Amino acid sequence: MKTGFAIISLCATALAAATGNAADTMVNQGATLFGKTSASVTYGPYLRFEVGPSSSSLTDPNWLPPGQSDPRVFFDFANQDSTFVGAAVGFDWMNGFRADIGLLSAGKIDATGPWSYTVPTTSGPHATISDATVRTTALMGNVFYSPLEQRGVNSRVQPYFVLGLGLARNSMSAWTRTNPASTNPVRTFEGDSNVDLAYSLGVGISVQVTRAGQRPILVDFSYRYYDFGTAKGSTISVTGTGGTPREALSFDRRDSVVSLGVRIPLQRY
């Protein structure tokens, strides 16, 4: 999470400085960004599609075993790559602001790894998570802010900031804990799905690839950080015998996404 915010903060600082200086020059001289010709009118509704690679981090994975004296066990899950896709419908006011609502999929990734530490500290060995996956989909509302457009720069290239808020559905498969030192070395529990609050922050650049006067088609290049909330399995046993876990395997999912998008205004002027 700290890495995602650091990247966004660095990009935002550089983008703000660049756009501020560029806007002052262009507004005073009547030029457009990078010398490009003026953009077409994009006011009105639009469709947006995006796809790109996602780096997923599963933070604080842990479970609470059945025994009353058992410690909470935390696991070490490695970061993984997946494919991010999304589609949205929105409205562009051409005053520096546009907004949309969309569906997205952050893909399915493994959620496995060895135990890392316990709370309170207790000597091992402890269980590892040998089999589990999580799939995330979300419904997100997004607000985009283009500082140059707000200042009257009608350019085919527009840097922007974006903030998203919505609901994520995190679906965990059946999950298996393995502990050779236990009287029941392998136990599998049912999966579960839950809905949690999700948010995102990001920066990007929008480029109109058609000429002024033609039906506009815009390409978006962006980096966004997503926090999809918590995924949690079930405590219902599928295989193996023993007590019921006091808490099932759970973790938070956070993704860093670099995406390429296409935006198509629906109204022709």
The answer to whether residues 245 and 264 touch, using CB atoms and an 8 Å cutoff, is no
Strands laid side by side in the 186-189 sheet:
128-131, 175-178, 186-189, 237-239
The residues that bridge with 45 in the sheet, in sequence order, are 91
Three-state DSSP state, 247: strand
Q: Helix, strand or coil for residue 129? A: strand
Task: Confirm if 262 and 217 have CB atoms less than 8 A apart.
Answer: yes
> How crowded is the C-beta side of 184, counted as CA atoms within 13 Å?
14
pLDDT by residue for the chain (269 residues), tens only, comes to: 455 545 455 544 444 444 444 444 433 433 444 444 567 889 999 999 999 999 999 999 999 999 999 999 999 999 999 999 999 999 999 999 999 999 999 999 999 999 999 999 999 899 999 999 999 999 999 999 999 999 999 899 999 999 999 999 999 999 999 999 888 899 999 999 999 999 999 999 999 999 877 889 999 999 999 999 999 999 999 987 889 999 999 999 999 999 999 999 998 77
Quickly list H helices, the chain: 2-29, 147-150
Give the class (CATH, top level) of 2-265.
mainly beta
| pLDDT at residue 37 in the model | 58
Q: Partners of 142 in the beta sheet?
A: 100, 164
- The conformation of residue 183, written as its DSSP 8-state character, comes to S
Dihedral sign of CA atoms 44, 97, 31, 208 in order: negative
d(CA 99, CA 89): 9
